[in-house]
Amino acid sequence: MARAHFDVKKQTGFTTIALFCFVMLYAPILTLVVYSFNAGTSIAIWEGFSWRWYESAFANEQVQDAAIRSVIIASFAAFVSTIVATMAALATTRTRPFTGITFIFASINQPLMVPEIVTGVALLIFFAIIKIETGYTGLAYLLIAHTAFCIPFAYLPIRARLENMDLSLERAAADLYATPWRTFRYVTLPLLWPGILAGGMLAFVISLDDVVITELVKSAGQDTLPTYMLGQMRRIMTPEMNAISTVFLAISILMVTVFFLLNRKKS
């Protein structure tokens, strides 16, 4: 058979494999969403459509409490880590290469490479010492931990955008009498903005999503939404879990869509 060029779509079995992957990815999620509307108390036997689990989830004070805490932690972590990541990205792309730049790059990305459970255990022990010394058991431990592991996620899109940016633009600004601060304010920052937003949103989603580190670091009564759900599932599974998951999913999809649109724009 004569073919003009290689086309993956014409390979035998391509459609089958693709369909299989899609089903494996989305069938469980679809099931989860469908059963969140179950009128019965089972997560596996359909008994008709109802909003009752959404109502009960929203009315559940523990869920409200955990959700608010999750948003506070994620907002704080995203905000602080994005600022740190922006500064780190500027320092690793807008300076002359210096000795130790590879080391700095590696340490910024450390949370991506070290297994999460290791970081979690390390933080647990470290914070335990501080707790004993100071007696403080507030939210600060979670805020610090989340900020730290969010930095590389915020850093990557910002750095990518900086690297794609034409250096001669900043040179042109300096040539036109802009001091380094004004060059940053009027040229670098406006052009970097989509990258910063994308980094911030990625950090927000990552923080919102975290289970392992949160589970190990949190003090009593400091459940976030994911750790609350995990705790509930050890007892009885009702479609209330499905309802919370579905809302969670919707928020994630929304954030990822905005992230995608931001990245596509102007690049």
- Phi, psi (degrees; rounded to nearest 5) at 177: 75, 15
Which one, 96 or 234, has the nearer CB to another protein? 96
Give which of 153, 151, 154, 149 is closest to 212, Cα–Cα.
149
95 binds another protein (CB under 8 A): no
**Sole binder of another protein in the list 171, 236, 253, 260 (CB under 8 A):** 171
**Sole binder of another protein in the list 179, 252, 257, 267 (CB under 8 A):** 179
Which one, 10 or 264, has the nearer CB to another protein? 264
Q: Cα 241 to chain center, whole Å?
A: 21
Minimum CB distance to another protein, residue 83 (Å) = 21
Part in contact with another protein (CB under 8 A); list of ranges 43-51, 65-73, 155-163, 179-187: 179-187
Minimum CB distance to another protein, residue 178 (Å) = 5
Give the whole-angstrom CA distance, residue 80 versus residue 89.
14
Within positions 180 to 199, which residues make up the interface with another protein, using CB under 8 A?
A: 182-183, 186-187, 190-191
User: Residue with structure tokens 């089958």?
Assistant: 16
Neighbours of 219 (CB within 10 A): 13
Helix (H, G, I), strand (E, B) or coil at 10: helix
Give the whole-angstrom CA distance, residue 257 versus residue 35.
25
Q: Is residue 57 within 8 Å of residue 244, measured between CB atoms?
A: yes
133 binds another protein (CB under 8 A): no
Which one, 180 or 231, has the nearer CB to another protein? 180
Part in contact with another protein (CB under 8 A); list of ranges 69-77, 116-124, 125-133, 167-175: 167-175
Minimum CB distance to another protein, residue 165 (Å) = 10
163 binds another protein (CB under 8 A): no
Q: Is residue 70 within 8 Å of residue 208, measured between CB atoms?
A: yes
174 binds another protein (CB under 8 A): yes
Minimum CB distance to another protein, residue 266 (Å) = 8
User: Residue with structure tokens 């994620």?
Assistant: 74
Helix (H, G, I), strand (E, B) or coil at 38: strand
Which one, 25 or 189, has the nearer CB to another protein? 189
Element (H, E) at 264: helix 239-264
**Interacting residue ranges for another protein, rule: CB under 8 A:** 166, 168-169, 171-179, 182-183, 186-187, 190-191, 266
